Structure 1
Amino acid sequence: MNAPAEPDPTKVGIRVLIVDDHIVVRRGIRAYLEVLDDMQVAAEAGNGQEALDRLAAMAVHGDLPDVVLIDLLMPKMDGAAATARIRQLYPDVRVVVLTSFGEMERVHAALANGASGYLLKDAEPSEVVAAIRAAAAGDVFLDPAVARQLTQEIVSPPTGLSALTSRERDVLILVAQGCSNQEIADELIISERTARTHVSNVLRKLQLTSRTQAALVAVRQGLVPPQS
C-alpha cells in the first residue's frame, strides 16, 4: 500500500490528526477528508501513545492539528487515556471520538476527559465532518444515538441497581463477597486505583456509606446468596 501523501502546506482549513489502530480505517477517513476544501489531514497514528509522540513533534514546529479524531480501543494507550492527556498538554487541540462502542460508561468517560465529540463508526461520513467542524469551532457534536441516551438519563435518571454499569455491578458482587479493593482489581484485571473508584461510584449511586450496606443491598437484590 502506498504511503500517504504529505500534507499540502498551501492548503488552508481544519488540520486533523487521525488516530486508529486499523490502517484501513485511517486511510478511508483520510481519503474522504482530503477531498474537502476546508480539511487537511496533518498526520496519522496507530494508538494513543503514537498520537502523543506525533503531537509532541508537531508542537516543536508550531504546527499542532486543530482536531484529533480518535478511536477508543487501541493497544499501548487507549483513546480515553489519550484524550485526557491531549487535553491536558494541548488545551487548544480538540478531540473527537470515533468508535464502535456506545456504552454510556465510555461516553461519560470520554466527555469527562475533554472530548468535544463522540461518534459511532456507523455514522455517515457527513456526520464525521460535522463533528470535526463543530469541535474546531469550540462546539460539541454527539452521535444521535448517544445524544438520545444522554437526554434519557437527564429526563429519567436511573436509580438503584439500574444506575450501575455492568462493571459496577460486578464490583458490587465482589464487595458483597468480602473482597478488598486489591482483590477486586486482581479479579477484574484493573488497577487498585480503578477498583477503588468503582467502589466509590457504587456507594455514591446507591446512596450508601459503607461496604457493609452495599453487601446487604446485593443480598437483598439476589446478586449474591446470604452468608451462612
Structure 2
Amino acid sequence: MKKTIVIVDDHILIAKALQGIIDNFAAFEVLYVCENGKELIKNFKNSNKIPDILLLDISMPIMDGFETVTWVTAHHPEVKVMALSMQGEEKSVIKMVSNGAKGYLLKNAHPVELENALTKLNINGFFYPDWASKIIFSSLNKTKDVEIKISDREKEFLKYTVTELNYKEIADKMFCSPRTVESYRDQLCEKLELKTRVGLAVFAIKNGFA
C-alpha cells in the first residue's frame, strides 16, 4: 500500500510538477495540494485527508512553513513533515527542525534524491542530507556533549528516539510507565538544551546511542 503525501506550496505549477513526479514513485502517491497552512488545516478536519508525509514549503503567504510545521507537530505528530524549500540557510534549517520538521530537502534536488529522501523519511522517521546534518550538528553544544552525564536508562531511551515508536510504546519496551519515559525526555531536553524529539534523535545518532 502506497504512503500518502500532501504538498503545501503557494507556487501551484511547482506543486503540480512535484505531484506528477511523486505519483510515478512506486511507494508514494499525492493525496492533494494546498497553497498554504490555513488551507491545510481546513483539509485536516477530514480524517481521510491526513497523509503519512507532508512536503512543506517555507515561504508562503497567509501561513508560512514555520507556523504550519508547529501546528502539525502539535495536532498531528504522526505526520512526518519534510521541508522542501529554496532556503538552505542555517537559520531556516534550525528553525524548521526545532519546530518539528523531520526532514529537509532543497527544491533543486533530483527526482531520484527526492524518492530516496521520502523512502528514508518513511522508514527511519527522519531524513537530512549531509549539508543539513552538518548545520544541525553544529547547532548542538559540542562541549556539553562531552561533559554532560547521561544515565544508562537515558541512553536506552535515546536509542528509541530514532524509531517510529510513540512514548507509550517506548515505555513498554523499557518496562516502565509513559510518565517515566516523559521524564527521561524532559531531563535530556534540559541537559542538552533541545526542544524536540527530532533534536534528541539527531543527538543520539551523532553520539552513537542509536
Q: Deviations over 1:69-119 (max 9, x none)?
A: 010000110011101101111111110000011111111111111111011
Q: Does 1:48 align with 2:34?
A: no
Map of 1:25 onto structure 2: 14
Q: How many residues align?
A: 143
Distance in 1 separating the partners of 2:45 and 2:120: 24
Shift of 1:153: 4.8
Map of 1:86 onto structure 2: 72
Contact in 2 for aligned 1:96/1:131 (Cα 8 Å): no
Q: How does 1:72-111 map to 2 (within 5 A)?
A: 72-111=58-97
Map of 1:144 onto structure 2: 130
Distance in 2 separating the partners of 1:79 and 1:118: 12
The structure with the largest alpha-carbon Rg is: 1
Matched letter for residue 80 of structure 2: R
Identify unmatched segments of 5+ residues in structure 1: 1-11, 158-228
Contact in 2 for aligned 1:120/1:143 (Cα 8 Å): no
Matched letter for residue 96 of structure 2: A
Query: What root-mean-square deviation, in Å, do the aligned CA atoms of Structure 1 and Structure 2 show?
Result: 1.9
Give the direction of change, closer, same or farther, for the CA distance of 1:91–1:152 in structure 2 (3 Å limit).
closer
Map of 1:121 onto structure 2: 107
- Relative to the length of structure 2, the TM-score reads 0.62
Normalized per residue, the structure richer in helix is 2
- Relative to the length of structure 1, the TM-score reads 0.58
Contact in 1 for aligned 2:105/2:129 (Cα 8 Å): yes
Shift of 1:156: 7.3
Matched letter for residue 15 of structure 1: T
Shift of 1:149: 3.0
Map of 1:36 onto structure 2: 25
Q: Deviations over 1:47-81 (max 9, x none)?
A: 11111111222x1x4x5210000100001100111
Map of 1:64 onto structure 2: 50
Distance in 1 separating the partners of 2:15 and 2:60: 13
Map of 2:203 onto structure 1: none
Identify unmatched segments of 5+ residues in structure 2: 144-210
Contact in 2 for aligned 1:68/1:94 (Cα 8 Å): yes
Decide which moves more: 141-150 or 34-43. Answer: 141-150
Taking only the aligned residue pairs, the percentage that are identical comes to 27
Matched letter for residue 112 of structure 2: S
Map of 1:191 onto structure 2: none
Map of 2:121 onto structure 1: 135
Shift of 1:154: 5.2
Contact in 2 for aligned 1:67/1:95 (Cα 8 Å): yes
Distance in 2 separating the partners of 1:28 and 1:141: 22
Distance in 1 separating the partners of 2:119 and 2:42: 24
